[in-house]
Amino acid sequence: MIRKTLAAAALTLLMSASAQAACGFQNTVPIRMLSAGFDAWKAVSSAMAECGNVQAELDQEFAKKHVAAFAANPALYHVGGVATETFVPLLNAGTIRPLDDLVAKYGKHLTPNQLIRVDGKIMAIAMMVNAQHLMYRKDILDQLGIPEPKSYADVMAAAAKIKAANAVPFPVGATMRTGWNLAQDFVNMYMGQGGAFFGEGNRPAVNGPAGIRTLETMKALTAFMDPEYLTGDSTFVQKQFQQGRIAMANFWASRAGALDDPKESTVVGKVKMAAAPIAVPGGKPATTVWWDGAVIAKNISDAEADAAFRVLMEGMDRQMVEANNNAAVWLVEGFKPSAAAEGAIATIQAGTPAYPASQRMGLLHSAIGSTVGDYFTGKLTAEAALKAVEDKYVTAAREAGLIR
Amino acid sequence: MKPRTFFAFVAPSLALMVLFIAFPLLSVLTQSFQNTQAVFTESRVEKCTPGFPNPICSQETILVAQRDASGRALTRTEFVGLDNYRKLLRTDDIARMVAEGRASLSALLAIDFFHALRFTLSFTFITLPFVIGLGLAIALALNATTRRLRGPVIFASLLPFIITPVIGALSIRWLFAGDGVLAGALSWAAGQRVSLFAQAWTIEAIMILYRIWHVAPFAFIIFYAGLQTLNQDTLESAIVDGASRWERLRYVILPHLMPLIIFVSLIHLMDSYRVFDEVVGFSSQAHVVSLQWLTFDLLTPDNTGNRAIGRASASSMLTMVGIVLLLIPLLKRTWRDHRGLR
Amino acid sequence: MADTRALAPSFGLKALTAGFLAVWVIVAVFPLAWTALMSFRYPVDALSGDPVKIVTGAFTLDHYRSVWIRYEFYRNFINSMIVTAGVVTISLTVGTLAGYALARTRSSLAFWLLIGALVFRALPHSVLVTGYLPPFLQSRELLMPLWTSPLTGWFFQLFSAAPPTLYGQPLAIIIVLVSINQPFTIWMMRSFFMNIPNELDEAARVDGCTHFGAFWRVIMPVMWPGVITTGLFSFLLAYNDYLVTALLLDAQSQTMVPAISSFLNRDTRGSDQIEAIAAAVSITAPLFLLVMVFQKQIVSGLTAGAVKG
């Protein structure tokens, strides 16, 4: 305990010495936060720390700890960093508090986009959006006389030309690592096909023509990918881009900045951001929109919640965004969209739906992620894979009491 | 030793093991016969998420947890007998396949549990002889070289064993994955691009190679220590009797090392039966998974907080039964030793 | 010894042996050496997949600087030292006592205890560890009855006014790691004690020592090789652990190994990956030292005892 207090005190001293002026007030209530650890959170948490007495934990395992840590009384953390999906369990468990009065008190500057409302009540404050959208090597496509691909048919045609010209080892990259990533790719494409995930009474509905078309499109694309695509996560695809090994990918907006970093990228200035391709004529872009933001725990005193929210607002202010403009596609006012954000904004403006996060979707997402890999390795046919997804989902949903 | 003294000596160790191993294990056993659900009501609400320029709002069904007077979320736990085991092993599907005459090994292996069991067992039994063989070979070779060389070679040999497993697996992966240097070398040698992480058998081979690389040093150091206690008189009388090098190995050295070979084999059986790091380190989930990975996967909540504790518990109980079966030879031996002491 | 004339191997065999050892040493060292090499290169070279670039690329200490200074890796290093020292000390104390008793008794209970320990040794850790997380996070509430009940309350309140939150407490993690490692420790210590003749403690007993006195004054002094060897295994377990420490420690008390994953899993830039590699090399360096210092003891310790059981 003593060691911890000392460490915290030392940390506080350091922080206050460096940038006391950056925070509008001196915080005296100890505030703890648990969130994911990517760049945007680093920016927000260090801006929060400038107010003093803030202990931020940026932990990759945060989602595993959130539910129990917020259910404790008093809660172990005051502020929680969440995203579209990880917001659901806290909301369902009822361990986060409505923020309407706090927003009225300290959050006048928040834009309507930042207020995540559930049933009319503000339950979370969003700070940024993220989406997978098309990134392509403009130099290569220009050279081969290929216009910007608008649909997956275009992507496939372009890939065939790039392959014939042998411009890069693999024309296409994708985040298709078995598990969460693969399922996310499936969800993107399936929503682009206009498919519905559920029928009556939480029954699954993926085993249909839209599901089969989704799998077939994905499989057709894999012909243009590195054969190790089932182990490829975002970092893998980013590396492929940076090393000039791929020419196109439907890839996370939050990674766009890294492709233009001369210290690690060989393709600086050559990658263009565009809206995600559509899957069917006249459809919406085949992707989903995600948000990241923060919640405040319920099991803490009102005074603590007040201080926590005030500190959080300091972390999500204009100054922070101005200092970290390219770290994310911010929703906070003061954000100036750079070339890196163009693709995400074009995607969202085309009416791309939000990721439909819910408990049942979580179960279905897991079932997809652990099953459809067998279709790509050739163990199962498309129908059999989708049936296996539904079986797995039904088993889990019965256990959870979603299907009676 | 009097029982009281015995207890006084053993108590701290026993208390720790009961509290942190036996007790959790007991709760796993209970949970494997139970199903716990949150008590909730569904309600249709308007949910808004960011969009440019205006937020997108839509009607959605959310589950609202019921809570008790103190604000704690309610859950309902019921005894479900062997349901979790049935669901894990998919016994209904198997019965149906048998009834329809479609039962086959490949259909059985398509079921996660049996797939994981197949991999876990083949991983365990393929690595075993290589670990023992390589460990023995290094120990014998080192014992036959000059003393001056021994220190540096022991040092180098121990590195793969002491290194943090996560880091060891990663450094091997960096060599073989994508454009790693050894993958590049293999591609160059084969004259075409070799993708080692693209199909099941190559991934399995790398996982096995990694495990051998990691554990053979342990076998080596134990065998090498054993060789130091070899009775030189026996060896010399064997030479006087005109035993060839091979005969000395076969009739003097191996029998002397036999208890150690059994010891290393058992430690290795236990460790490789719970193979897990390799699955994560080489992200082989698309192709092969192990029993412990399967349990871990069922047990880890997804991003919306769901997890299948019942099936995970059933899976870990079955894993345990498996390890006890594998250990029976050792248990028998220990029992004999113990009786011999009396 | 083995180098009497009759045993002298032929030249061909000598060459074969030397060749085999050389190949093995390369196989053993290459992956780590290559990784270490990558940690001194800029991402543009290190991640290029071109061995020539990796070998000849520009040298940099940037990644080490950023790992140790910017990301304050020394904090993780200190935490690792605390956890490791705690585990080794407690594990050896508790395990030596139990190992001694188990080696000197003939009751069937002892047998079943050993068998139980063996089965525990074989258990998949993830099963246990995932179960610890919720109670650790909520321990303050769960333990409250002990503090408020009139029977036990006064006792526990001697230590603290309210129950502790076990999550993130190095001491709690030390106890967990000791428990998980206990089966291996007692088996190992038992086989060391089995090799120390019973007559030794009987002689001490005749001289009027209690069991504990005999253990402490007569047995322990000859046990050091065994204690050091077992201690090294405990050290490796605690130092290398990922599963327990990743789940049960918070950012302030995080040890080095789980801290690496925050370099690897961060929404990464290429430099993060090289930083992860630099951190990995930093973690391995103390292990190097450890083996260098204790290499002789490992071999002599194993020779003295464990390998006979």
In SS3 terms, A177-244 reads as: CCCHHHHHHHHHHHHHCCCCCECHHHCECCCCHHHHHHHHHHHHHHCCCCCCHHHCCHHHHHHHHHCC
Q: Are residues C188 and C123 in the same domain?
A: yes
A162 pLDDT above the threshold of 90: yes
Question: pLDDT value at position C303?
Answer: 75
B78 contact A CB<8A:
no
pLDDT, tens digit, for every residue of A314-361?
A: 999 999 999 988 888 999 989 998 888 999 999 998 989 899 988 899
> Given a cut of 90, is residue A367 above it in pLDDT?
yes
Question: For chain B, which ranges sit under pLDDT 50?
Answer: 342
Q: How confident is the model at residue A100, as a pLDDT? A: 95
Contact B283/A at CB under 8 A: yes
In 3D space, the residue among C170, C185, C200, C13 whose CA is nearest the CA of residue C98 turns out to be C185
Q: Is C22 exposed, middle or buried (0-12, 13-18, 19+ CB in 10 A)?
A: exposed
Specify the 3-state DSSP secondary structure of A81. Answer: strand
Task: Tell me: do C199 and C50 sit in the same domain.
Answer: no
Between residues 205 and 264 of chain B, which touch chain C (CB distance below 8 Å)?
Answer: 213, 217, 221-222, 224-226, 228-229, 232, 235-236, 239, 245, 259-260, 263
pLDDT of residue A229: 92
Taking an 8 Å cut-off on Cβ atoms, the answer to whether C47 and A242 are in contact is yes
Residue A241 and residue A98 in one domain: no
How crowded is residue A363: how many other Cβ atoms within 10 Å of its Cβ? 25
Q: In degrees to the nearest 10, what's the CA dihedral of C188, C194, C197, C203?
A: 80
C190 → chain B, closest CA residue: B10
Domain count, chain A: 2
- Answer whether B77 touches A (CB < 8 Å): no
Contact C95, C184 (CB under 8 A): no
Report pLDDT for A248: 96
Query: Do residues C163 and C253 both lie within one domain?
Result: yes
Percent over 90 (pLDDT), chain C: 16
- Mean per-residue pLDDT of chain A: 89
Give the Cα separation of B39 and B73 in Å (integer). Answer: 8
DSSP state of A339: G
For the stretch C144-170, pLDDT in tens is: 888 888 888 788 777 777 788 888 888
Task: Indicate whether A395 pLDDT > 60.
Answer: yes
pLDDT for the residue numbered A15:
44
Q: B88: distance to nearest CA of chain C, Å?
A: 16
User: Is residue C4 scored above 50 in pLDDT?
Assistant: no
| Degrees, nearest 5: CA angle A245-A248-A252 | 105
In the DSSP assignment, the letter for residue A38 is S
Taking CA–CA distances from B146, the nearest residue in chain C reads C3
Summarize pLDDT for A107-134 with one digit per residue, the tens: 988 988 899 988 889 999 999 999 999 9
Strand-pairing partners, residue A316, are: none
CATH 3.90.1150.10 fits B119-289, yes or no: no
Tokens of C214: 């005999």
- Is B319 touching C (CB cutoff 8 A)? yes
Question: Does residue A266 share a domain with residue A160?
Answer: yes
CA separation for the pair A363, B303 (Å, rounded) = 9
CATH number of the domain that residue A307 is part of:
3.40.190.10
B-chain CB neighbours of A399 within 8 Å are 35, 37, 308, 310-311
Chain A residues close to B193, C-beta within 8 Å: 169
Q: In angstroms, rounded to a whole number, what is the distance separating the alpha carbons of residues B101 and A397? A: 30
Region A86-98: what's the mean pLDDT? 90
| CB < 8 Å to A37, chain C | 262, 265-266
What is the per-residue pLDDT for A20?
A: 44
Q: What is the pLDDT of residue C309?
A: 43
Here the CATH number for the domain that contains residue C176 is 1.10.3720.10
- What is the arithmetic mean of pLDDT over A239-247? 90
**Chain C closest-CA separation from residue A349 CA (Å):** 25
Write out chain C residues lying below 8 Å of A58, CB-based: 251, 262
Nearest to A10 by CA among A58, A53, A64, A61: A53
Given a contact cutoff of 8 angstroms between Cβ atoms, the answer to whether C191 and C308 are in contact is: yes
| Average pLDDT score over residue span C12-37 | 90
**CA B126 to CA B124: how far, in whole Å?**
6
pLDDT band at C120 (very low <50, low <70, confident <90, very high): confident
Query: How many Å separate Cα A102 from the centre of its chain?
Result: 26
Cβ distance of C25 and B157 shorter than 8 Å: yes
pLDDT of residue C168: 82
For chain C, the chains sharing at least 3 beta-carbon pairs closer than 8 angstroms are A, B
User: What proportion of chain A, given as a percentage, has pLDDT over 70?
Assistant: 95
Partner-chain contact C269 A258, CB within 8 Å: yes
What whole-number distance in Å separates Cα of residue A126 and Cα of residue A129? 8
Q: Does C54 share its domain with C171?
A: no
SS3 assignment, position A362: helix
Domain assignment present for C12: no
At A293 the pLDDT is 95
Into how many domains does chain C fold? 2
Residues A124 and A135 in one domain: no
Are β-strands A115-118 and A271-274 bridged in parallel, bridged antiparallel, or unpaired?
unpaired
- State which residues form the domain around C204: 74-308
Residue C305 predicted with pLDDT over 70 = no
Per residue in C214-272, pLDDT (tens digit) is 878 888 888 888 888 889 889 998 999 888 888 788 777 888 988 887 777 655 566 77
Prediction ipTM score: 0.84
Residues A121 and A51 in one domain: yes
- pTM higher than 0.90 for the full model? no
* Partner C contacted by A258 (CB < 8 A): yes
Structure confidence at residue B340 (pLDDT): 66
Domain span including residue A368: 131-288+350-400
A113 and A256 part of one domain: no
> What separation in angstroms does the CA of A359 have from each of A66, A126, A365, B63, B153?
15, 20, 10, 8, 56
Instruction: Say if residue A169 is in the same domain as residue A72.
Output: no
Decide if pLDDT at C174 tops 90. yes
How confident is the model at residue B71, as a pLDDT? 65
φ, ψ (nearest 5 deg) of residue B243: -70, 135
Q: Please tell me which residue, A158 or B68, carries the higher pLDDT value.
A: A158
The verdict on C175 touching B (C-beta cutoff 8 Å) is yes
Greater model confidence, A7 or C215: C215
Higher pLDDT, A298 or B45: A298
Looking at residues C14-39, what average pLDDT do you find? 90
Q: Are A186 and A58 members of one domain? A: no
Instruction: Indicate if the pLDDT at residue A4 is higher than 70.
Output: no
